[in-house]
């Protein structure tokens, strides 16, 4: 099936007389006919469901759909994108371990990697997204367990050279984890370029409608854990799961099965069935929405680039963008709807511009179906001084403009009107 068809038909195929739409299984638990039957499920959790802290039929259908969309073998949903990033790394790193991340990643992920993981004894080295092969190789240590990056970074909008980072990871027996939130599998399938694990905040384009927070981890099923030699937790008996050796018992997807039966069992950050039902509705229209976001995104970016009040713009779909060649390789269908630009006149004009917008809403969200804007200097990075903002690579006048799927004429008219207010004010 092509991806447009997969969005509708993967994950759930009703049998004779069953509901057309995957129902919401709002149940914490699952019934068995005998104690022996329950024991069997505990011995091999693949035989049936046990408890909704880590599995549920509605969520299972969504997991199968997302695994298919990304070209992976299995997936596990989480209650947020943050939980997905956290578990994707904790499934590989223990206290005393180290990993590498591109520094061009979501701010919440930076906090998790730089501060919270540090308290847990896990160290992260951040490397520039455009680092040379030598620089990446030089950061790898004997206790390094994985490399992490974002396809299109939020909010920097850089594009990761996935193939290059994957090759270096694999040379060293390391898996590559890619956060594919902004691209979605409609624009890029990182597994095809060598990624071993893909994570998402499904709160963004996948849900699309700003109705529920969620995340997902996808296992490519390709990484050779035994050959790497760095992952005894995959190749030796798991004491906490009656001696299971994940690579032997579940050779098709040891990574995701370990994540579910160790980490999700213990942390329980699993989505509610109702959230998964809503996520599935979003996924059904992902392909048509992504086409429109990209179509509107490039038109708005081209307009902004031509505008005298715009000092800088970052959108990899523009020919002038330093990552345009990478976008052509990894994102041939388009670069999503998120654009960042810096308005002349700093924070004062950014605020004036944003307050003058009528259609675009001012909110701490991105990748919504509706156009929305954020001035990081006034919101997510508000506590920083002007000097600290510059050091963090955020101009005070920077605006993150998330183009929705409205008619682009209306979005452009809103922007033009707001620029007029700035000019006249
Ligand atoms: C929003 C976001 C996250 C965090 O996801 P939540 O669902 O908000 O927890 C992680 N990565 C990227 C790229 C994001 O945009």
8 Å CB contact between 151 and 125? no
Q: Are residues 243 and 197 in the same domain?
A: yes
State the Cα–Cα distance between residues 418 and 425, nearest whole angstrom.
10
214 lies in which domain range?
Answer: 3-281
pLDDT bracket for residue 247 (50, 70, 90) = very high
Task: Give the pLDDT score at 393.
Answer: 66
Q: Does the predicted model carry a pTM greater than 0.85?
A: yes
Residue 270 Cα to ligand 1 middle (Å): 16
Question: What is the atom index within ligand 1 of the atom nearest the CA of 213?
Answer: 7
Q: Are residues 327 and 237 in the same domain?
A: no
Q: What is the DSSP string of 139-186?
A: T--TTEEEEEEESB-TTT--B--HHHHHHHHHHTT--EEEE-TTTHHH
Total of domains in the chain: 2
pLDDT bracket for residue 392 (50, 70, 90) = low
* pLDDT above 90: residue 11: yes
Q: Indicate which CATH number applies to the domain containing 418.
A: 3.90.1150.10
Q: Indicate which CATH number applies to the domain containing 88.
A: 3.40.640.10
CA atoms within 13 A on the CB side of 144: 25
For the segment 261-315, what is each residue's pLDDT rounded down to a tens digit? 999 999 999 999 999 999 999 999 999 999 999 999 999 999 999 999 999 999 9
Ligand 1 site residues (CB inside 6 A) read: 80-82, 85, 106, 108-109, 150, 154, 179, 181, 201, 203-204, 213, 215
For the segment 57-96, what is each residue's pLDDT rounded down to a tens digit? 999 999 999 999 999 999 999 999 999 999 999 999 999 9
Q: Are residues 120 and 240 in the same domain?
A: yes
| The domain boundary residue, chosen from 236, 259, 281 | 281
* pLDDT above 80: residue 385: no
pLDDT bracket for residue 43 (50, 70, 90) = confident
Q: Are residues 339 and 271 in the same domain?
A: no
Q: Are residues 63 and 162 in the same domain?
A: yes
Q: Are residues 262 and 294 in the same domain?
A: no
Q: Are residues 191 and 74 in the same domain?
A: yes
pLDDT bracket for residue 391 (50, 70, 90) = low
């Amino acid at each position: 099936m092509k991806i447009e068809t997969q969005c509708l038909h993967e994950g759930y195929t009703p049998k004779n007389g069953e509901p057309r739409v995957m129902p919401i299984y709002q149940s914490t638990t699952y019934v068995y006919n005998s104690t022996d039957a329950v024991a069997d499920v505990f011995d091999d959790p693949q035989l049936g469901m046990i408890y909704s802290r880590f599995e549920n039929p509605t969520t299972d259908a969504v997991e199968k759909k997302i695994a298919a969309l990304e070209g992976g073998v299995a997936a596990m949903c989480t209650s947020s994108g943050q939980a997905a990033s956290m578990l994707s790394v904790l499934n590989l790193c223990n206290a005393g371990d180290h990993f590498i991340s591109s520094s061009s990643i979501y701010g919440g992920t930076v906090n998790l990697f730089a501060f919270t993981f540090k308290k847990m004894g896990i160290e992260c080295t951040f490397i520039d997204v455009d680092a040379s092969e030598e620089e990446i190789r030089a950061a790898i240590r004997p206790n390094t367990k994985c490399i992490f990056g974002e396809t299109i970074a939020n909010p920097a909008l850089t594009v990761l050279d996935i193939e290059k980072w994957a090759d270096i990871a694999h040379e060293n027996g390391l898996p590559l984890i890619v956060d594919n939130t902004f691209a979605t599998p409609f624009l890029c399938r990182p597994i095809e370029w060598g990624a071993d694990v893909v994570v998402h905040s499904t709160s963004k384009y996948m849900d699309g409608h700003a109705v529920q927070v969620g995340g997902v981890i996808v296992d490519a099923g390709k990484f050779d854990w035994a050959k790497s030699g760095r992952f005894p937790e995959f190749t030796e008996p798991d004491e906490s799961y009656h001696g299971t050796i994940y690579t032997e018992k579940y050779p098709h997807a040891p990574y995701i099965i370990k994540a579910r039966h160790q980490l999700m069992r213990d942390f329980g950050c699993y989505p509610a069935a109702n959230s998964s039902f809503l996520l599935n509705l979003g996924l059904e229209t992902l392909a048509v929405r992504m086409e429109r976001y990209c179509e509107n995104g490039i038109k708005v970016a081209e307009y902004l680039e031509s505008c005298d009040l715009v000092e800088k713009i970052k959108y990899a779909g523009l020919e002038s963008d330093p990552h345009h060649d990478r976008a052509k390789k990894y994102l041939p269908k388009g670069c999503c709807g998120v654009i960042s630009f810096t308005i002349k006149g700093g924070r004062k004009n950014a605020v004036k511009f944003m307050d003058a917008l009528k259609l675009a809403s001012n909110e701490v969200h991105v990748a919504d179906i509706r156009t929305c804007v954020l001035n990081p200097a006034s919101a997510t990075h508000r506590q920083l001084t002007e000097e600290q903002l510059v050091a963090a690579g955020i101009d005070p006048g920077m605006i993150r403009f998330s183009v929705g799927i409205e008619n682009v004429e209306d979005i452009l008219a809103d922007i033009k009107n707001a620029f007029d207010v700035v000019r006249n004010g």
